[in-house]
Amino acid sequence: MRIMGIDPGLRRLGWGIIDVSGGRMSHVGNGTCLSGGGALAVRLLALHEQLTDVLNRFSPDHAAVEQTFVNRDSAGTLKLGQARAIALLVPAQAGLEVGEYAPNSVKKAVVGVGHAAKEQVSHMVSLQLPGAVLDGPDAADALAIAICHSFHIQNSGRLEAALRRASA
């Protein structure tokens, strides 16, 4: 199973791809889509085109996106929400279901602490995906989102199997 994690951002949108087989995870790729400058519509289009290219190159089976947190800057939050819409739209256009996770849930799944620092997330991603060369903090966060989603998929599969056994 191949999972794409996406860390939405208007300037820098991180992406990470992992393969999961049984309990083993392996790094496939990671990077950052850059929107450049200019009008908002042009920046969103750039993110859409770059993320679509990544999805087409790696053909993931699943996708997951970090949920947006609301901060004091309402205009900034709105722009982040628009970039997040691109992060949700691209995998949905490819027919993928998209998991969504709160930042604290991702950190707790990967680091064990819901309020971990970015450096801790990067460190734990590197430990869980040996040999991965991280493109930067946004790509590391995207890989963490993919790892979190893999745990969710594996655990939900176990729950479904247990429920089937219990009803048989």
**Per-residue model confidence as pLDDT tens digits over 88-103:** 999 999 999 999 999 9
Instruction: Please answer whether residues 80 and 66 qualify as being in contact, where contact means their C-beta atoms are separated by less than 8 angstroms.
Output: no
- Res 56 pLDDT > 60: yes
Residue 164 has what pLDDT?
Answer: 65
Going from N- to C-terminal start, the domains of the chain cover 2-167
Model confidence at 159: pLDDT above 60: no
Is there a binding annotation on residue 7? yes
> Is the confidence at residue 167, as pLDDT, over 60?
yes
DSSP calls for the chain: -EEEEEE--SSEEEEEEEEEETTEEEEEEEEEEE--SS-HHHHHHHHHHHHHHHHHHH--SEEEEEPPPP-S-HHHHHHHHHHHHHHHHHHHHTT--EEEE-HHHHHHHHTS-TT--HHHHHHHHHHHSTT-----HHHHHHHHHHHHHHHHHHHHHHHHHHHHHHH-
Q: pLDDT averaged over the chain?
A: 92
pLDDT value at position 3?
98
Q: Which residue in the list 66, 73, 97, 135 is annotated as catalytic? A: 66
Whether residue 78 is predicted with pLDDT greater than 80 in this model: the reply is yes
Active site residue 7: yes
- Check if 53 is active-site: no
Asked if 141 is an active-site residue, the reply is no
pLDDT band at 55 (very low <50, low <70, confident <90, very high): very high
To the question of whether residue 138 is assigned a binding role by annotation, the answer is: yes
Whether residue 156 is predicted with pLDDT greater than 90 in this model: the reply is no
Q: Does the pLDDT at position 155 exceed 70? A: yes
Global pTM value: 0.91
| Average pLDDT value for residue range 71-76 | 78
Strand-strand pairing, 24-34 and 12-21: antiparallel
Q: What are the pLDDT digits (tens) for 108-151?
A: 999 998 889 889 999 999 999 999 999 999 999 999 999 999 99
Domain 2-167 coded CATH 3.30.420.10: yes
66 assigned binding-site residue: yes
For residue 72, the model assigns a pLDDT of 75
Question: 19, 97, 138, 141: which is the annotated catalytic residue?
Answer: 138
Q: Which long-range contacts (CB under 8 A, 24 or more apart) does 43-51 make?
A: 43/10, 44/10, 44/82, 44/83, 44/86, 47/10, 47/13, 47/83, 47/86, 48/86, 48/89, 48/90, 50/13, 51/6, 51/13, 51/15, 51/86, 51/87, 51/90
